[in-house]
Amino acid sequence: MADKEALLAAIIVHGGCGVVTHLTRPVKEAGTKRAVEAGLAALRDGGNAVDAVEAAVKVLEDDPVFNAGTGSVLTLHGEVETDASVMTSRLECGAVAALRGVKNPITLARRVMEITDHVFLAGPGADHFAKVLGLPQADLVTEERRERWKAIRARMEQGDLGADELEHWARIGDYVRPYLEREERHTYSTVGATAIDDSGLLAAGTSTGGIWFKLPGRVGDTPIIGAGTYADEHGAISSTGHGEGIVKLCLAQRAVSFMATMSAQEAVDRAVADASRHHVDCGLIGVDARGTVGCAFNTEDMPTACG
């Protein structure tokens, strides 16, 4: 661990990697800046790194321009299923998946970490846990997402597949891609944050609505510790990108392991280079035990902000 006297609290957030058009870039950049401000405010108010990460991610979950919380993309059945995870450098972690109606999944993931004996809750059990705790519920389907889903679904059913066949299409991503706009097709709008506080505690958190027209119950990298989120004594990482590919590479843990001998920037550069060799679209943000931040991606863009 770095000399605590030399530490300066820091936070970095991302709003997902991929293609970001000129129409949405200013809005997403503004959203990430608001998230950083919320994280810094948590630190100034005496909060720790986990407080900062949760505060930042909640801002992004509540912003419908991002694919997390409110504004999440819809499944094949036109519903929202969200995932999230959080982890600290003390190896404390919590994750949730396939949630329906929990306003801020990152908060539920934190509660799993702090007040249960478990790491990962999913589906109806996770939703029930949120209700027992009295966490805010919400209809996360925005009108814009609903209308877009209807339009895509209608075009698909009028094309090569009927409704019955569509329900059993194994490689749905291959089929739906031609019907998506460029930004929808090449954007992974998972959101995340990593932070270090002045005591040296590191934390990372990630939240997502997944991918357009995913099969119900699909879980990507976001809630999987070591893939979408990871932290230990060397650093903290939040990932975004093609979830299935990130899971196979255990990308977040890989990047943090590099921080044992590299700076945060060197570590994320190395991890993204590894992902590129395996043709995995991704982006990473991180902070190391010295309090330096890093950001790298192999897609066209990834809105980020730090402070």
Q: What is the pLDDT of residues 49-71, one digit of tens each?
A: 999 999 999 999 999 999 999 99
Q: Is the pTM of this model over 0.85?
A: yes
Confidence (pLDDT) at 250: 98
Q: Which two tokens stand for residue 155?
A: 């075009």
| pLDDT of residue 168 exceeding 80 | no
CA–CA gap between residue 63 and residue 233 (Å, rounded) = 32
Q: What percent of the chain has pLDDT over 90?
A: 78
At 292 the three-state DSSP class reads coil
Higher-confidence residue: 5 or 174?
174
Please report the pLDDT score of residue 153 as a whole number: 81
Task: Give the model's pLDDT for residue 169.
Answer: 52
Other beta carbons less than 10 A from residue 25's beta carbon: 13
**pLDDT, tens only, 187-229:** 667 999 999 999 999 999 999 999 888 889 999 999 999 999 9
Percent of the chain with pLDDT over 70: 88
CATH class of 4-143+181-306: alpha beta
Which residues lie closer than 8 Å to 122 by C-beta, 6 or more apart? Answer: 96, 97, 98, 219, 223
Other beta carbons within 10 angstroms of residue 195's beta carbon come to 36
User: What pLDDT is recorded for position 1?
Assistant: 41
Residue carrying the six token digits 């000129």:
22
Higher pLDDT pick, 225 / 3: 225
Longest dimension (CA), the chain: 64
Taking the C-alpha atoms of residue 30 and residue 14, their distance in angstroms, rounded to an integer, is 11
Note whether 107 and 58 are within 8 A (CB).
yes
pLDDT, residue 167, reads 55
Three-state DSSP class for 64?
coil
Cα distance between residue 216 and residue 75, in whole Å: 6
pLDDT score for 18 = 86
Q: Which of 143, 38, 54, 148 is nearest to 103 (CA)?
A: 54
Query: What is the predicted pLDDT for the residue at 76?
Result: 85
- Bridge-based pairing of strands 93-99 and 120-122 is parallel
Backbone φ, ψ for residue 233 (5° rounding): -65, -15
| Residues 195, 39 contacting (CB under 8 angstroms) | yes
Average pLDDT, the chain: 91
pLDDT per residue over 92-116, tens digit each?
Answer: 999 999 999 999 999 999 999 999 9
Residues annotated as catalytic are: 190
Cα 193 to chain centroid distance, Å, stands at 8
Strand pairing report for 235-241 and 229-232: antiparallel
The model's confidence at residue 272, banded by pLDDT at 50, 70 and 90, is very high
pLDDT in tens, 146-167: 998 898 888 777 766 555 555 5
**Confidence check: pLDDT of 125 > 50:** yes
Residue in the structure block whose two tokens are 């190391």: 288
Mean pLDDT of 279-305: 96
**Cα(300)–Cα(103) distance, integer angstroms:** 30
Count of other CB atoms within 10 angstroms of residue 154: 11
Three-state secondary structure call for residue 37: helix
Residue range 123-133: mean pLDDT, rounded? 97
Q: Average pLDDT in the 246-252 region?
A: 97
Q: Give me the residue label for tokens 């991929």.
A: 18
